[in-house]
Amino acid sequence: MSDSAGTKEKILEVARSHFARNGYHGTSMDSIVKGTNLSKGAIYWHFKGKKELFEAVLGDESNRVLKYLFPGPGDLDGGAAEFFVRRGEQYFEALWNDTEMRLIWLTLFIEAQRGGEDGRDLSLVAGNLLNSLHETLRPVLMEAFPGLTKGSDEMSLENIMMIVDFLFDGMVMNLGLRLDLATAKSYWRFVVHRFIDFEGEK
């Protein structure tokens, strides 16, 4: 890894922790400068400002989601539903063990609801990020569950993806609060087998 890449990774690691623990508005660029022990110039060399840095942190989190849910060669051989059950459970385990991973997503949802200029900007960031995840996963789901594309307009593939997304987000928000890891996994298995897999077989 080059020095520049290593510096950027260090900045993102510190920023991730600050955004997760203190929220977007509670994090300043000065606090990130102090946390990285780098100069302001080094921070601004890689990121134009706090919004761009937050977007980069969210981009990394989005890539983590894809690493869990995007299948590689042969991953679907044992059945698409079982793949998504297994990978979803692994992602819940990661969320359970990494508080900051949960807090980053909660921070995004909260800040996007605050309103004002920052809230509108972050709402757009959130929408673009989630739309990008959907666009990446849509062809995978179409291949894995061909029946999903044959439903009515009310239960189109996009609608099904959104409903599952909302259910998943709700579980993430309650993880460690009203939902323990074992229960989260059981709910996720229910969602995949009773909803996605059922619709896919139509």
Sign of CA dihedral 157, 161, 167, 170: negative
Q: Which two tokens stand for residue 14?
A: 């510190």
What mean pLDDT value characterizes the chain? Answer: 85
pLDDT at 198 over 70: no
When comparing pLDDT for 141 and 174, which is higher?
174
Q: How far apart are CA 45 and CA 111, in angstroms?
A: 26
pLDDT digits (tens, 9 = 90+) for 69-103: 888 888 888 888 889 899 999 999 999 999 999 99
pLDDT over 50 at 185, yes or no: yes
For residue 200, pLDDT beyond 50: no
Residue 15 counted as domain residue? no
Give the whole-angstrom CA distance, residue 17 versus residue 159: 33
Residue 196 resides in a domain? yes
pTM for this predicted structure: 0.83
Q: Is residue 149 part of a domain?
A: yes
Structural domain count of the chain: 1
Q: Is residue 146 part of a domain?
A: yes
In a domain, 135, yes or no: yes
Q: Report if residue 86 sits inside a domain.
A: yes
* 199 vs 131, residue with greater confidence: 131
Least confident stretch, 26-40, 50-64, 128-142, 149-163: 149-163
What is the structure's pLDDT at 201? 46
**146 close to 200: Cβ distance less than 8 angstroms:** yes
**Which of 126, 130, 90, 89 lies closest to 111 in space, CA to CA?**
126
pLDDT band of 114, cuts 50, 70, 90: confident
Residue 75 placed within a domain:
yes
What's the domain range around 74?
50-200
pLDDT digits (tens, 9 = 90+) for 136-159: 888 877 777 766 655 545 567 777
CA distances from 191 to 6, 79, 143 (A): 40, 16, 19
User: Would you state the structure tokens that stand for residue 161, as one six-digit string?
Assistant: 């993806």
In a domain, 189, yes or no: yes
